[in-house]
Amino acid sequence: MTESSYWGRTAMSRRSVLRGSAVGVAGLAGAALIGCGGGSKDAGPVATAVAGTPTAVANNKTARKGGTLRIAGQLTGDVPSLDYDRTGGSAMGSISNLTAVKLTQWDERPDSPGPVENVIPDFAESWETPDQGTTWNFKLKKGVKTSDGLEVKASDVVWTFDRQLVMRKPVGYLQNNLPDLYTGTKTNATAIDDYTLQIKLNKPDADFLALMGSHWWGVEHKDVITKKGADLGKTAAGYGDITSVDQIRGGGPYYPTEYVPASGFKMKRNPNFYDPNIAYLDAIDHPFILDPAAAAAALQAEQLDAFGPLTQFTTQQGLELSKSDKLQVDWQPCMVWNPWIFDFTSGPFTDVRVRTALAKAVDRDSWIKNLYGGRGRNGAMILPWLTYWALDPAKMGPDGDNSFKYDPADAKKLLAAAGKEKFTFPLQTSNIGAYTVTYPFADLMKSMLANIGITQETKIVDYAAHLSKNSADGGIYQTFIVRPDVQSYAYAQVVGRIADKDIWAALAKIDPEYVAFKDVAEKQRLTQDRNARRELVYDMQKRMSKNVWNFYWPAPDSPVVSNKKVHNFRPPPGWNWNSMKYVWKDA
């Protein structure tokens, strides 16, 4: 996946992908991963972190280090480049999160009281903001070293920010998601000394701390890249090019020892990792297995220890695998979530009555009961029932009726009023990974729409084509949704482009209320108070449901399968793979 083909073609902002909570906190290829967190719902903003490292499971007397975890399904395909600053997608994101440190990390410890609600220290030992979020002073840990023994320092953080700015075109992940980190082409970060970093934002950002723990960046060591790597002329002088796995050394818990194209990665534990109480495994082998049937066979044959969650088993496959006495199934809420994006630039979906008719034609309760065996949920926005930041659809009242009330008779009346009693539209989906799980959903949707006179033509296209094209004849585009965070997931609905069609600009022209929605979304992004942000999210959710700006089918729970020798493998409530530090395996 390249920057242009993956991120440039999604129908959601990259800004939204990286956002986390100021007090805490994507799967890819259609996976949006969020889990149920605990903890206080009403805690205020946190400006200062306590010193210390996350060792919540270190005292587990049954836990022991050692062994190799053979896992597939974290990566949804091969990597187009080993240079993380040159590529995107889940593959290098998963790898870099294990090989690098960040300033903070999302709390994904197995016994965390709120796995997606908190940010905890990583490279930063503590932090403070003396001016309510404009200036951030980070005290960094000493002795954070790569597997080569090179110490990671404040200057490496600044260099990492600068390298992204140079490498990523037209803009890098952090630049796009946190523009106030930069002034023009300059990073607003300064290494005061080796262990003190200061960042000055152009204006406060409520999600800053969580962005500093996002899996979309990791601290790179300048000397590892520039001294080992050749300058291939692809970057500015002095930034080098990553062409081999021995250049991927960032002070994280593991380091890659082998990469075979189209085959997979091998990683070993960093002997110099700053916290000896975690990173239980000796090694991680990650082969590329994209076919769930092949993964199921490998699990049964004890050739694979775990599979998921990005490339997924269906609900039915999970139920079947749960019968095995060798395997254990962890049912995660909604590991795949593919909203269908209406084409607002032309065709019938510019009319809210048509969109509402489509939503009312869907018998969601029957869908969940019969297709998912009761393992599924509804939502007006991205995974709202799993966060503190959205209303349960059942509590929306009249605003939710357009999206959730099954009423085919009313749907027909709406179509008649719109002059669209019968019409045909294309639904485009893909032929790989999580998208294959959606095939029965598309078929069921087709049969339900036929009951009100709408003909859906499902187009299953090549994966690469799916990333760069949308229906050209006024249909729906089934888009990527990458794991949004608990506070700003609603921002995903504000901006985005599908191929060359500016869908949201078109929507703003045909629906004036959408302009107000955008204003509310921006306000909640900047609001520090959690309760106030929650109310703003409620407002957006109601607006979205009332106007049916996107269509969300009921989402199935996802089975994540491992053998019974694997412990603490509860893949993310989030999608940062910090949880992989805590996995261990019986010898």
Q: What pLDDT, on the 0 to 100 scale, is given for residue 572? A: 56
Q: What pLDDT, on the 0 to 100 scale, is given for residue 214? A: 80
pLDDT single digits (tens) 538-581: 888 888 889 988 777 787 787 889 999 998 887 654 556 677 88
Q: In what order do the strands lie in the sheet with 423-430?
A: 454-461, 423-430, 476-478, 340-342, 550-551
> For residue 371, is pLDDT > 50?
yes
Q: What pLDDT, on the 0 to 100 scale, is given for residue 28? A: 20
Question: CB–CB of 390/537 below 8 Å?
Answer: yes
Residue type, 303: Q
What is the spatial distance between Cα 153 and Cα 190, in angstroms, rounded to a whole number? Answer: 12
- SS3 state at 38: coil
Residue type, 339: P
Helical H segments across 307-438, by residue range: 315-321, 352-360, 364-371, 398-404, 408-417
Mean pLDDT of 443-465: 81
pLDDT single digits (tens) 253-284: 999 999 998 899 999 999 999 998 888 899 99
Between 165-174, 400-409, 547-556, the lowest mean confidence (pLDDT) is in: 165-174
Q: What pLDDT, on the 0 to 100 scale, is given for residue 26? A: 24
Strand bridging mode 558-563 / 327-332: antiparallel
Question: CB–CB of 341/492 below 8 Å?
Answer: no
For residue 561, list its beta bridge partners. Answer: 307, 329
Q: What pLDDT, on the 0 to 100 scale, is given for residue 386? A: 41
Mean pLDDT of 370-390: 66
What is the spatial distance between Cα 30 and Cα 125, in angstroms, rounded to a whole number? Answer: 35
For residue 105, list its beta bridge partners. Answer: 120
> For residue 213, is pLDDT > 90?
no
What share of the chain has pLDDT > 90, as a percent? Answer: 30
What structural domains and CATH numbers belong to the chain?
A: 3-59+80-245 (3.90.76.10), 340-556 (3.10.105.10)
Mean pLDDT of 494-513: 65
**What is this structure's pTM?**
0.75
Mean pLDDT of 36-54: 32
Question: CB–CB of 322/558 below 8 Å?
Answer: no
> For residue 500, is pLDDT > 60?
no
Q: What pLDDT, on the 0 to 100 scale, is given for residue 171? A: 60
Structure tokens at 258: 């082998």
Residue type, 444: L
Question: What is the pLDDT confidence band of residue 172, given thresholds at 50, 70 and 90?
Answer: low
Helical H segments across 153-279, by residue range: 154-167, 173-177, 208-211, 222-228
CA 432 to chain centre: 18
Residue type, 195: Y
Mean pLDDT of 419-440: 71
The residues, ordered by sequence, that sit 6+ positions from 138 with a Cβ below 8 Å of its Cβ are 103, 124, 126, 127, 154, 196, 197, 198, 199
Mean pLDDT of the chain: 75
Between 250-264, 398-412, 530-544, the lowest mean confidence (pLDDT) is in: 530-544
Question: CB–CB of 468/477 below 8 Å?
Answer: no
> For residue 309, is pLDDT > 80?
no
Mean pLDDT of 402-427: 93
Extended beta strands in 205-289, E state: 254-260, 264-269, 283-287
> For residue 42, is pLDDT > 50?
no
Q: What is the DSSP letter of 243?
A: -
More confident residue, 315 or 112: 315
What is the spatial distance between Cα 291 and Cα 259, in angstroms, rounded to a whole number? Answer: 20
> For residue 427, is pLDDT > 90?
no
Mean pLDDT of 71-79: 80
Between 64-68, 107-111, 470-474, the lowest mean confidence (pLDDT) is in: 470-474
Structure tokens at 236: 């500015």
Q: What pLDDT, on the 0 to 100 scale, is given for residue 10? A: 23
Instruction: Tell which residue, 322, 333, 278, has the closest CA to residue 583.
Output: 278
What is the spatial distance between Cα 409 and Cα 421, in angstroms, rounded to a whole number? Answer: 12
Question: What is the pLDDT confidence band of residue 50, given thresholds at 50, 70 and 90?
Answer: very low
Q: What is the DSSP letter of 77?
A: S
